[in-house]
């Protein structure tokens, strides 16, 4: 038995003992009417609260609700102290007899987890507790009211009696009654507001407690009011009705609990049937939402290869945090493999068995939808990468246009001018003309060199003619750092793969030269298990940022377009390794 269980049993036993003591006090009382009825009603009510409270405590040890509910039962028993014939005990009894009322308000305000949602609620309850204790004092200090004398002619004298002063007592009673009604009304407003703000699953959970509590507060609040107004008959009726409603609260709560379990169990079996008859076509979410009674329910799917969650549209999805007050989630597995999760209203987390059985029932259908989501995620990714490829193409064209415009084109314009000038000088100043022609020749040589470089950058001819090996050798020969071609494929690879591999190496070497502070790079291209593996490693400073520039991104897209993928491994201080794998 756990320590919690031991404590709960101890509390249950002390409730039995306390109940017995209370009953004994009532039996021995000389001024209490209807002893039998009083004992039965009192014990049934107190024990029902304690029992229900302990059950809730045991089910959800993390919530204070059970403890508070149990406390309502114990404080209710305190009222039996008024049965004592001893003046002091009787007086104490009068002071504490209404405490249960505030403890119950505490339960209502802190439902469902036993924690008050706002600070001023604590002040409100504090005021309630104070009023409970202070409320009877005017009578105890300055003598019983007429109603009290009538209803209990044999009650002992107050141990606190100073002197009879009806005027003072009645004035103070009126004040405490008004304050009491105000507090009750405030609690009612809070509860009704909370109801209006609640989600359907939350409402279902809070309905029994809230409505019986509201009814009881209305009745007892009215009783307080009518007492202050001096309508004693009405006060009695309302008071009794209030107590009856109060006594019914634990039972209503239990009935609600059982009913929702039965309803949910029914919903689960119905879910199983419906999942069986028509395999998932987008209605899985609706069916699970029905079964769990949570219209806000979302399905998310696990993408094993990416290690991430996506929604039904394939968009990335962030699961709610463990301490999210509004949303919770439950993993769905199929044959021990995670396929997805149900994201639901936090209140459903209180019923892990139900979530567990729904999740188990949903496994297979969820796997189907997961595959669809995976497909959508892939389509989404392709869409994005296609857009990037198009954009990269446009950028590249812009770059080429700029290079042509700033380079060769300018030189040709200059040369055209020089030629025209030379032409005009041929007769008058042939020497100058020859000099100018030489200048034009020089410009032309430069323009040719620039065009050659540009053309090589677009697509090196040697790549198509002689293959990747020759092209990489040329690339290595032109690199500003020492490049070791450690491994090259023996035969030609398909052209798109050769081109991708070439540009991966070219971009990687450019980056090495620009950022890595490396003296040496090793290039390896190999065919391995049906894939072309391209690797460029350097001995530089590492710490390369994969998001840097559009170059790497564009390459990753290019490689991805061939169903391959690219990895950048660049720990700070120990070089950079870029690896691309492309299926052949």
Q: Interface with another protein by CB under 8 A: which residues?
A: 441, 444-445, 448-449, 452, 455-456, 460-462, 464-466, 470-471, 473-474, 476-485, 520
Q: Which is nearer to another protein, 12 or 470 (CB)?
A: 470
Contact yes or no for 152/182 (Cβ under 8 A): no
Q: Which is nearer to another protein, 182 or 404 (CB)?
A: 404
Give strand pairing partners of 343: 298, 329
CA distance 568 to 537: 10
Could you give the 3-state DSSP secondary structure of residue 78?
helix
- Residue 448 Cβ, how far from another protein at the closest point, in Å? 5
**Could you tell me how many residues make up the chain?**
584
Q: What is the DSSP letter of 31?
A: S
Give strand pairing partners of 582: 532
Q: Which is nearer to another protein, 261 or 478 (CB)?
A: 478
Q: Any idea which residue has 């870029």 for tokens? A: 578
- Residue 465 Cβ, how far from another protein at the closest point, in Å? 5
Q: Any idea which residue has 């729904």 for tokens? A: 358
Full 3-state SS string of 500-553: HHHHHHHHHHHHHHHHHCCCEEEEEEEEECCEEEEEEEECCCCCCCCCCHHHHH
Q: Any idea which residue has 């799917």 for tokens? A: 301
- Residue 444 Cβ, how far from another protein at the closest point, in Å? 7
Q: Which is nearer to another protein, 186 or 522 (CB)?
A: 522
- Residue 396 Cβ, how far from another protein at the closest point, in Å? 20
Could you give the 3-state DSSP secondary structure of residue 345?
strand
* Residues 74-83: b if buried by 16+ CB within 10 A, e if exposed: bbbbbbbbbb
- Residue 477 Cβ, how far from another protein at the closest point, in Å? 5
| Residues near 336 by beta carbon (within 8 Å), at least 6 away in sequence | none
Q: Which is nearer to another protein, 140 or 512 (CB)?
A: 512
- Residue 440 Cβ, how far from another protein at the closest point, in Å? 11
Q: Which is nearer to another protein, 73 or 540 (CB)?
A: 540
Q: Which is nearer to another protein, 473 or 487 (CB)?
A: 473
CA distance 101 to 220: 9
- Residue 418 Cβ, how far from another protein at the closest point, in Å? 15
Phi-psi region of 573 (alpha: psi -120 to 50; beta: other; left: phi over 0): left
Q: Euclidean distance between the first and final Cα of the chain, in Å?
A: 63
- Residue 461 Cβ, how far from another protein at the closest point, in Å? 6
CA distance 505 to 499: 10
Q: Which is nearer to another protein, 271 or 462 (CB)?
A: 462
Residue 516 phi, psi (nearest 5): -80, -15
Q: Which is nearer to another protein, 164 or 478 (CB)?
A: 478
- Residue 561 Cβ, how far from another protein at the closest point, in Å? 25
Full 3-state SS string of 249-262: HHHHHHHHHHHHHH
Q: Which is nearer to another protein, 365 or 471 (CB)?
A: 471
- Residue 425 Cβ, how far from another protein at the closest point, in Å? 21
- Residue 471 Cβ, how far from another protein at the closest point, in Å? 8
Q: Which is nearer to another protein, 316 or 480 (CB)?
A: 480
CA distance 70 to 340: 39
Contact yes or no for 518/512 (Cβ under 8 A): yes
Q: Which is nearer to another protein, 255 or 486 (CB)?
A: 486
- Residue 478 Cβ, how far from another protein at the closest point, in Å? 7
Going from the C-alpha of 529 to that of each of 486, 488, 532, 533, 558, the distances in angstroms are 19, 16, 8, 10, 21
- The encoded tokens of residue 482 equal 């020492």
């Amino acid at each position: 038995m756990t320590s919690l269980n031991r404590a709960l049993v101890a509390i249950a036993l002390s409730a039995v003992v306390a109940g017995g003591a209370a009953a004994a006090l009532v039996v021995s009382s000389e001024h209490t009417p209807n002893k039998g009825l009083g004992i039965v009603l009192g014990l049934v009510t107190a024990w029902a609260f304690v029992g229900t409270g302990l059950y809730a405590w045991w089910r959800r040890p993390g919530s204070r609700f059970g403890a508070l509910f149990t406390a309502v039962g114990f404080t209710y028993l305190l009222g039996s102290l008024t049965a004592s014939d001893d003046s002091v005990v009787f007086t104490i009894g009068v002071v504490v007899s209404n405490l249960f009322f505030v403890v119950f308000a505490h339960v209502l305000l802190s439902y469902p987890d036993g924690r008050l949602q706002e600070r001023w609620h604590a002040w409100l309850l504090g005021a309630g507790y104070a009023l409970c204790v202070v409320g009877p004092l005017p009578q105890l200090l300055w003598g019983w009211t007429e109603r009290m004398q009538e209803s209990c002619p044999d009650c002992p004298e107050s141990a606190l009696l100073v002197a009879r002063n009806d005027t003072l007592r009645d004035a103070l009673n009126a004040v405490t009654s008004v304050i009491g009604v105000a507090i009750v009304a405030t609690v009612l407003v809070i509860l009704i507001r909370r109801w209006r703000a609640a989600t359907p699953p939350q409402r279902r959970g809070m309905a029994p407690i809230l409505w019986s509590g509201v009814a009881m507060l209305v009745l007892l609040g009215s009783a307080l009011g009518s007492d202050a107004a001096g309508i004693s008959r009405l006060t009695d009726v309302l008071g009794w009705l209030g107590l009856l409603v109060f006594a019914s609260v634990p039972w209503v709560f239990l009935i609600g609990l059982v009913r929702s379990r039965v309803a949910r169990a029914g919903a689960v079996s119905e879910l199983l049937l419906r999942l069986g008859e028509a395999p998932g076509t987008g209605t899985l979410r609706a069916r699970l939402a029905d079964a769990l009674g949570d219209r806000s329910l979302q399905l998310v799917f696990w993408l094993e290869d990416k290690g991430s969650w996506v929604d039904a549209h394939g968009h990335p999805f962030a699961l709610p945090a463990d301490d999210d007050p509004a949303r919770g989630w439950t993993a769905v597995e199929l044959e021990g493999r995670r396929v997805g999760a149900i994201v639901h209203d936090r209140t459903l987390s209180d019923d892990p068995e139900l979530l567990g059985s729904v999740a188990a029932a949903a496994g297979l259908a969820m796997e189907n939808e997961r595959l669809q989501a995976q497909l959508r995620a892939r389509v989404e990714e392709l869409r994005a990468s296609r857009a990037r490829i198009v954009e990269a193409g446009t950028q590249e064209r812009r770059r080429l246009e700029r290079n042509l415009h700033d380079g060769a084109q300018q030189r040709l314009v200059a040369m055209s001018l020089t030629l025209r000038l030379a032409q005009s000088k041929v007769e008058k100043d042939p020497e100058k003309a020859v000099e100018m022609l030489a200048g034009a020749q020089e410009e032309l040589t430069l323009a040719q060199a620039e065009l050659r470089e540009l053309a090589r950058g677009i697509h090196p001819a040697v790549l198509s003619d002689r293959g990747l090996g020759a092209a990489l050798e040329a690339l290595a020969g032109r690199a500003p750092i020492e490049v070791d071609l450690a491994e090259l494929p023996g035969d030609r690879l398909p052209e798109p793969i050769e081109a991708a591999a070439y540009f991966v190496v070219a971009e990687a070497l450019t980056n090495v030269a620009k950022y890595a502070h490396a003296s040496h790079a090793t290039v390896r291209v190999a065919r391995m298990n049906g894939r072309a593996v391209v690797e460029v490693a350097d001995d530089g400073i590492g710490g390369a940022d994969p998001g840097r520039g559009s170059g790497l991104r564009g390459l990753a897209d290019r490689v991805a377009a061939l169903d391959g993928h690219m990895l950048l491994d660049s720990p700070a201080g120990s070089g950079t390794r870029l690896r691309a794998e492309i299926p052949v």
